[in-house]
Amino acid sequence: MANASDPPDRPTLRPDPRPDLLSLVPEALDHALAEHFRSRGQPAFRATQVRKWVYETGVASFQEMTNLPQEERDALEAAFRLEAPEPETVSRSADGTVKHLWRMEDGELIESVLIPTPERLTLCLSSQAGCAMGCTFCATGWGGFGRQLTTGEIVAQYRGSRAWAEAHDYGPIHNLVFMGMGEPLANRKAVHPALTILNAGLGVGARRITVSTVGVVPGIRELAARPEQFGLALSLHSPEEALRAELIPLEKRHPLPEIMDALHAFRDAGGRRITFEYTMIRDVNDAEALAPKLAARAREVHAFVNLIPFNPIPDQDWLPSRPERVEFFRRTLDAAGVSVAVREPRGRDIDAACGQLRANALVELEGPRRKRGRARGAKVAGAPAAGNGAEG
């Protein structure tokens, strides 16, 4: 017998056997299209036409590829698919921040956020539906873990957000940050090809792409081994191991000394930017004695530090640090020669911090059941990339 608190039934979807073109790295995409058109007796330039539609124009369906004959569009649709999630909601803040809540084919909800400033437009991408990492300060973790995203679902967030930005006079996307829902380096099977597609296929410079992590050491080392100079952001939140373990369960598996060793390897790979994300929570991790310790950690790997006011989440009564304490941290870091910025809260009127919009939607859909799931999820070792106050 169904419980009144259970969520509405979702239809069971059979996996689509067609390859998703957005999940193929450029070389594999070219090969698949060349083979497809060769088998149909079509000229080789057809593959180039489709590649341009996929990478340059961001069409949502094969039927929009208007320079192909109708029978070729139909044949492409029969042979392949093109990931294009529907926006469940699009929320625009008074400060210009825009959050998309995307509904996947199986009903999962994920978020991406466009963050405009006078200098650039940044897109914050999600790598998982929810998060299993259990950070105590994070709205994404509170909402529980749904599943890993596919490469195509990650890339589709960029294509969909780019199309929206162009249609609404936001201009081109300059920076990409994997700081949305989920821990990117816990989904390396999808994130690594997504990085290749975004860089080599869609033309986003590697130095304009940043991957955030709470300290998945094998993933940091794998990213360091890549030839591209992607940036790395560590969700630090405490320079002390014991306090960090209270905030981020993954600290128990990969303690700070191990993480710092991996960051040295990343830095030594050459010219790669490291950022420390530090969510400031009143009377939790903002003691004055922590500021010089944070400075020492940052100086060790030449990291830039973002100080981030805490964003409230359900079932947690913490508050953001007082402005004077944030300023004390900023001054201490600056005096130690550490590059530092205080990140201004963006999009609070639309729940733009990572996971907040999805969490609210899940509360409406699932009520008490989601709270029980969050309590279980908190026991899982790990933490989300930047579920509170990062770019997303």
Residue 10 has pLDDT above 60, yes or no: no
> Of the listed 111, 153, 366, 391, which one is catalytic?
111
Q: Is the pLDDT of residue 347 over 60?
A: no
Q: Phi/psi of residue 128, each to 5°?
A: -140, 155
Confidence band of 123 (pLDDT split at 50, 70, 90): very high
Region 334-354 average pLDDT: 77
Tell me, yes or no, if 366 is annotated catalytic.
Answer: no
* Mean pLDDT, residues 190-208: 98
- What is d(CA 33, CA 58) in angstroms, rounded to the nearest whole number? 17
Question: Is residue 124 annotated as a catalytic residue, yes or no?
Answer: no
Q: What is the pLDDT of residues 49-59, one digit of tens each?
A: 999 999 998 89
Quick one: angle between helices 323-335 and 290-300, nearest 10? 40
Question: What token pair was written down for 247?
Answer: 């905030």
The answer to whether residue 33 scores a pLDDT higher than 80 is: yes
**What is the reported pLDDT for 15?**
77
Sketch out the chain's domains with CATH numbers.
Answer: 21-79 (1.10.150.530), 86-377 (3.20.20.70)
pLDDT at 12 over 90: no
Segment 118-133 mean pLDDT? 92
**322 has which bridge partners?**
none
Quick one: pLDDT band at residue 388, thresholds 50, 70, 90? very low
What average pLDDT does range 357-373 have in this prediction?
46
Q: Band of the pLDDT at 344, cuts 50, 70, 90?
A: confident
pLDDT over 90 at 305, yes or no = yes
Q: What's the CA gap between 201 and 377, in Å, rounded?
A: 36
- Stretch 43-47: mean pLDDT: 98
Catalytic annotation, pick one of 124, 131, 135, 354: 354
Q: What is the mean pLDDT of the chain?
A: 86
239 vs 133 pLDDT, higher one: 239
